[in-house]
Structure 1
């Protein structure tokens, strides 16, 4: 049995990634067809925002921002807490399944973690105008990209196969949300 998918030769530029003992998969750029192949992939890839060829995490966060504004017209903050908690749990399942299907633990196209974490940020910084929301967006992206301690620690130690790895994908963005909210709390206390 070949370690390469059908049609892929060992001379292809993409190397196989070892998942678990003896399992390999070719890591490729996900497509719309791949995303629509299972509901978990649709969620993990942020309903298509993770398919962006440029900065999928930023595009996913923008989708989180837009969806928060639209959905907030119909629901109250308490309902948002339930949606965020449910989104976190569903995200663990979606990231677990999608990581297995892609053969990589935290592919950049999996952006559901950014969406849910940014909902959390917006829940606590609202009400604020466009520039306050934009500042929250910039700070959140900064912390998600730079990963200051302890985000970097959890990003390294919780990544891997199985439930713990999927939890880690979701959890490190919650820390980025916490740091963003800390900046806003300090700013508002001045």
Structure 2
């Protein structure tokens, strides 16, 4: 663990944002906890927004996340540290982008699909992680996993609507 007393205020902020506060420091499976927290918060903090608001929120999370993840890699002296989970928030909410309100079952499926693609890392998820430096790569691989999950959710919705 990094000594918070030796960090600058900006480093402390970047670390707190990158780890979503204490959630990234949970002892087991911080990415899963980050995704779960994102899903639980989504109906109130994301899905309730109009589409333009959701797009603006995602853009802000992406920009802040790129900065926070890049700083966190320096702070924790590791590429894409496990405790860094703002990328899970971005990817998980991206998967839900075009749904305004959704049944809890869809949230559960969205969570499962995102975790599946984030862990499995099919092309181009792994490619995005490896091809872009620093915080950009950390954020984009979860963005691509989120797009896969989005596609799966929309396919499910289409099949159930027939």
Query: So what's the TM-score if we normalise by structure 2?
Result: 0.86
- SS of match in other structure, 2:114: helix
CA contact (8 A) 2:35 2:89 kept: yes
Q: If you compute each CA radius of gyration, which structure gives the higher value, 1 or 2?
A: 1
Pick aligned residue for 1:113 from 80, 87, 93: 87
How many residue pairs are counted as aligned between the two chains?
Answer: 157
Provide structure 2 residue ranges, at least 5 long, that are not aligned to the other structure.
none
Q: Which has the higher contact order (CA 8 A, sep 6+)?
A: 2
Against the structure 1 CA distance between its residues 126 and 155, is the aligned structure 2 distance closer, same or farther, given a 3 Å change threshold? same
Q: Which residue of 2 aligns with 1:18?
A: none
CA contact (8 A) 2:2 2:75 kept: no
Cα separation, 2, equivalents of 1:135 and 1:75 = 21
| Alpha-carbon shift at residue 94 of structure 1 (Å) | 0.4
| Alpha-carbon shift at residue 98 of structure 1 (Å) | 1.1
Against the structure 1 CA distance between its residues 126 and 30, is the aligned structure 2 distance closer, same or farther, given a 3 Å change threshold? farther
Provide structure 1 residue ranges, at least 5 long, that are not aligned to the other structure.
1-28, 159-163
Pick aligned residue for 1:71 from 45, 48, 51: 45
CA contact (8 A) 1:125 1:133 kept: no
Cα separation, 1, equivalents of 2:72 and 2:28 = 20
CA contact (8 A) 1:113 1:170 kept: yes
- SS of match in other structure, 2:97: helix
Which range moved further: 179-188 or 102-111?
179-188
Q: Which residue of 2 aligns with 1:180?
A: 149
